[in-house]
Structure 1
Amino acid sequence: MECSGLSYIMKRAIEYHKNHPDNFRVSAYQPPTTYNDRTKEHRNVVFADTLEVIENVILFSISNYFLRFSNEYKKVHDVTEFDNDWYEYVEFGTTNPLPILLQRNGFSRESATYIRNHKEEYVVHDGSGGELKLKSSLLACGNTSVMTEAASIKFNVPGLFLEEEA
């Protein structure tokens, strides 16, 4: 919330445990111990716990807040979509419309990133409506997981793909 990076957040979590070393738990199955920042295991537990809080508590809460707002906005304005939908930005981890479109249609975040990084090769603007479409050549891009996802998505959402002339 203060625009601090992840490195800063992790340093502060380590600092907190240094200042409050008692009752540190490596796991729920082990008795509490005293925190020792010189052990990789203790530092990794702090990192994992901190990332879990960020993912499951903060992002979940923010995502739910924006989802409620988005749904109410759509109801009030009688629209199905609107620009600047912060729920989608939080949910898909980007403000870039291409990865949002790809993830909405079933691509994983990693595959969407691959396609975005190679958009000159695999993405075109459909002339009729200006919509983004994928070239069928994506099915042979060389990235196994992208090819697997693309084949499944082309089967289920064929309109996302633009057939290429041979």
Structure 2
Amino acid sequence: MASHIGKLPVVIPAGVEITINGQEFTAKGPKGTDSFEIPEGITATVEGNEIVLTPVDDSRPVRAKHGLARSIVASIVKGVSEGYAKSLDIVGTGYRAQLKGKSIEFSLGYSHTITVDPPEGITFELPNANQVIVKGIDKQAVGQAAANIRKLRAPEPYKGKGIKYSDETIRRKAGKAGK
């Protein structure tokens, strides 16, 4: 029995070019190019405007990778066509960020500023001094870069100060006076 997720075809949007050479899957779109090595035991074919991943046999290791391979292929196709973005908010008096070339310099209440350089394929945008947007075509790299920035000053539960994802809700605690 094949994976339920793996059975679903991946729709190829307009402007995206797919190349499958053996187990090497490559997608080229308006945002860039990305590739993925499809695991052994799974074949990928382009049928019309869809990518279909099919397991060669029904063994447990192949079934386990079938849905994962399909999810990675789908995220690559979305990344090269639309891209991924994560938005972070900086909360706290005196906490701010400013662009220095391609890097960001953070003032987060420490005795020094912290400079963060973008990893390969990632860009930073600052709509204002209290918001950072991390953009790129690789879903995993965008998420990791955003997590690394959040880790510089994770939000604390009493006043909510720190760096948080824009869609994140910080559960607040009552202080000593809250008894």
TM-score between the two structures when normalised by the length of structure 1: 0.26
The answer to which structure has the higher strand fraction is: 2
Greater RCO, CA 8 A, separation 6+? 2
The answer to which structure has the higher helix fraction is: 1
